Structure 1
Amino acid sequence: MAHGSVGPMKRAFDLCVVGLSLGAMACGPGLEPEVVVHPPRPTASPESTASTTGGGCPAIGHAEPLIVDWLTTRRSDLGLAMKDGVAVVSYDCTTLKLLTQCKLPGSYSFAGVTRAEKVIQLTNPAEMQANVPFGAPALSTAIEGGGSAAIDVALVPTGKMATTVASSSAQDLSGSCEGATHFVRAALLGAFAMAPGSRGAARTVDQVFGAVGAAATASQGGTTSKEGELDACRAAKPDAQAPTERCHAPLRLELVPLLAKKAAAAEAPVKQAEDEFPKLSSLCPLGTVPNGAKCSPPALAPAHLCEPADARSCAAECGKGDVGSCYHLGIQYLGGKDFPRDDGRAAELFEKACGAGVTQACYARAKQLLRDMKSAKVAPDAAGRAKVREFADKACEMGDGWACFSVAEWYLSEGPQAVLPKDPTRAVAFLRRGCDLGHGPSCSALGKMLVEGKLAAKDVGVAVGVLQRACQGGQSEDCVDLGDILRKGQGAPKDGVKAIAAYSHGCSLGDMRACNAAGSVYAQGDGVPKDVAKAYSFFERGCPEKGFGADACLSLAGMYEKGNGIPKDMSRAAALYEKVCGTGGCVRAAEIWQRGEGVTADPERAYSLYEKACTQWGEKKACDAFGPLLERKDKERARTFYADQCVRTQDKAACAAQKRLGGAAR
């Protein structure tokens, strides 16, 4: 992978999918054709809009169907939908309908991946349904009758396009969205050829492409079809930042189910624990198991992916040839729980699985080497560091955004525990790639570096695009940072409308600062028409009964106090000020009750609030007001109070008051 400045990044973020039928993504190795392994599979539940159909189809959760049987027109429609935002579909076991008038905010970016050529042979209707569900009825006809007929599908992936939007709900949609069940998180790009074959007769990628006539290229949808050119794909580079000409056919989609309802406050994506090796899990349809690059009924799968915690099963399936199980077995040997700890055996298994296309295994081997160097099991010499880089690079190149992010951290570490030389340029390259692969935290880290200009050349213009993807991916703090840049026009053109969009999304993610910022923009008419009703709405969202944001509560209290667009209500204002006591709120509430500003004066309440703000929060203004009130109540206690203030804060007024009451300054 090429490592250098982030200049070319902008091209990736500005990419319009011109002439593409589709694009592809990676939030992990789930779309790799060599080994179909994925993040943990969500279970069907009332929280998902996917449901059981009348025909008995089980609820569809996270899914990754092949679409090599699609007509060219369907590919083009999907490509256009992906240019306009995040594509939304209605999907069940047998049909997928693109909802072109349904909109979900977001965008896609492209990243090249390591080419992994593979031929999949489909031999029965169950495999057809599991792997190419949309064309299964027609394709199954070609192999019915129990003979030796089969369908060979050659896949040559070279790139992915991904959105950082990792989850969404029906409430996020707009437009005509009846029947919406999933959104397209990503797709795999490259070339494919599909042709009738003979069961058990293995063919190479070249042979399958050679078996497809030129006429089939323009006639998608039958048992014989092709799109893309082998030579073009084989010339593609894994660090490409734009799709390769004649090698950008859509191969496989990643479909994520829409949640039926939105959480009260969405959590930002959680980074894997530093010492944890990610587990693999199958996304094959119910009743089938991963069988190499396809899903098959268990009876037709000589080996399948084991459950990560089942050590004996992993050993058995690895022995039969399932490389994903070999990866899990390697983790078992490192843990030393069900098998004696054997670092050497773990290394062999990781390297075997990595070589066969299991991205996490490449990362695991790099991580293992890094650990060994830290513990002095292996000398941290140039050869050792080179080997770490070899496996780390491979994991990132194969399309695992999380691995790119994790490795970037290694290159930013310094001090006694840092094994690899600090290399910000290399870290930036990994973060850029992780971001392009749809990993929100990578975008977040990269955006901050570009804004600060400390570890990377400062480029706020590029950072805006990066932070926008981080914001779309659920990084609420980046929504605030993006909104601030656009609102103030510092390093990028000032744009109140886009600032509001960023703040609004951050607010919907549960960031109360974002709610307050959006309200402030509307309250001040800063780049957008002044709108008191919208300002009030955002302030109110940022100041709920639980989990409130101090700034939003203060803003809302100010509206009630001044009667800005709403009826003046000093009692309500005082209650809101009290709610955020540690930010000056108690002092202002105390003043209102002490002076009787629009309320019946309540000296005792004022006294209590001054005391709270002074003793619990150390607010000088509160202490200055509390001292004289305390003097009137209890001179001896006041003397002690002033003495304490004099010693702790060196406040001259407190020291003078202590002397006045007859106490010596300490």
Structure 2
Amino acid sequence: MLFKGLLMFRILCVFLIFCIVLVADNLNKDNKKNKIYVQNEYISEKSKIDDFKKQCDNNGRESCVWLAGYYLYGKDNVKQNVQKGLELYNKACNLDFKEACEALHTIYFDGKNELNIKKDFNKSFYYLVKICKLESKKCPNFKPNKDFKNYINACDKDFGWACYYVAISKNDINLYEKACILNEIKACFDLGSMYESGNGLPQNISKAKKYFKIVCDKDDSYIVCSENRDAIYGSKDGVSANFTQKMQVAMEKCAKNNAMECFNLGTYYYNGDNVTKDFQKAKENFKKSCDLGYKTACEAYNDM
């Protein structure tokens, strides 16, 4: 009887040991699963960041913005690098990604103490101009606030860049002119463009040439200076010395959807400027320029 009792006790002990080993093994498996899960999560995150880098290197604008956020704030195992973050935002902005331009405008307009970024009205203004060019509707509706008054005060003290900022925001021609007088070349260029196209001002080719000449006298790197030099400065013999180059440039840039160059190409064919007149080609180029948003080209197309 005693023997049977000891046997049952031993069997019970073996069973308990087996259960303990089984539970421990399951717990160990669970832990391994958890470790694998965490590791996979990390690998996935790293893979995502690598994908963003590749896409950004290939001019993927949204990927550049995502990466900028990682570097700016040091997120998800990415070492914080504020300068790198700003550079990536700037790259996306230069690729005409409006949200990136808006982010930079806000950063420099407000400043970011936690990132050691001070207010910089010059840089803030630069990105506002980019935003306005990408979405012009935003500029006339800009609501002045306390910080905006700094620009007005700076304009009153004859800072041309500040006058240009306020001119864009208020759509104020007088301030465009003041900014131009104060050597803000971008203001002179905008005035020339408005007078040329009749967009925002009554069309006046003579005034357009006047403002473009101011631009080109100070900075001939603007496209209008090289491609419309004869129109701006006049041509002694009535024939452009570099017309072939201008024609080639116009064709290349029109192929890349440059509205102004498509219009220029149309005028060459329409007027027979050193090329055989071809109204069909003129019409095609006017239409393309119009479809790209150039108002004067629409008028030229409708007149044909």
- TM-score normalised according to structure 1 size: 0.21
Structure with more of its chain in helix, by fraction: 2
> Could you say which structure has the greater relative contact order, defined with CA pairs below 8 angstroms and 6 or more residues apart?
1
- TM-score normalised according to structure 2 size: 0.37
Q: Work out which of the two has the higher radius of gyration on C-alpha atoms and give 1 or 2.
A: 2
